[in-house]
Amino acid sequence: MRNELLVIEDADVHLSILRKIAAQAGFNTTGVNSVEGACTVLRRQTFDCITLDLSLGERSGIEVLELLAELKCRAPVIIISASDDKALAETVRIGNFLSVNVCPPFAKPINLQLLRETLKQIATDTERQKLVRSAGW
């Protein structure tokens, strides 16, 4: 069984690249291009991992972090953004304050090899956790 990844990205080319990298890392992907789309899908489905662009049209990815906190979502969240290092660090701090499982962020342009390795590690960890839960340990 493959893990499920939600890709929240408003640029079609980036969405396509992220889907390809995720598939190589062992994920099925659902892609949305707005805060509204993310909120809709997150309220009806759970994911093993989420990638989040911070700039989603006129709205901010921080709104998605707030929803994840409200939903008590524990899936790892990988922030991917063209924002500067200070803004990325601040967003991670906000995510941590909200008790969201925020991973170290990726600045655009994305280091695709590092992202692939990160996603593979998350997939491996998720599979291990599923095995432990199914064994009742």
Question: What per-residue confidence (pLDDT) applies to 117?
Answer: 97
Does residue 136 belong to any structural domain of this protein? no
* Beta strands across the sheet bearing 27-32: 27-32, 3-8, 49-53, 77-81, 106-107
The CATH number covering residue 42 comes to 3.40.50.2300
In the chain, how many domains are there? 1
Does residue 14 belong to any structural domain of this protein? yes
Residue-by-residue pLDDT tens, the chain, 137 positions? 689 999 999 999 999 999 999 999 999 999 999 999 999 999 999 999 999 999 998 899 999 999 999 999 999 999 999 989 999 999 999 999 999 999 999 999 999 999 999 999 999 998 888 788 777 76
Question: What per-residue confidence (pLDDT) applies to 1?
Answer: 63
Question: What per-residue confidence (pLDDT) applies to 8?
Answer: 97
Q: How far is CA 91 from the centre of its chain?
A: 13
Question: What per-residue confidence (pLDDT) applies to 133?
Answer: 78
Structural domain harbouring 28: 3-131
Question: What per-residue confidence (pLDDT) applies to 29?
Answer: 96
Q: In this structure, which amino acid lies at residue 121?
A: Q
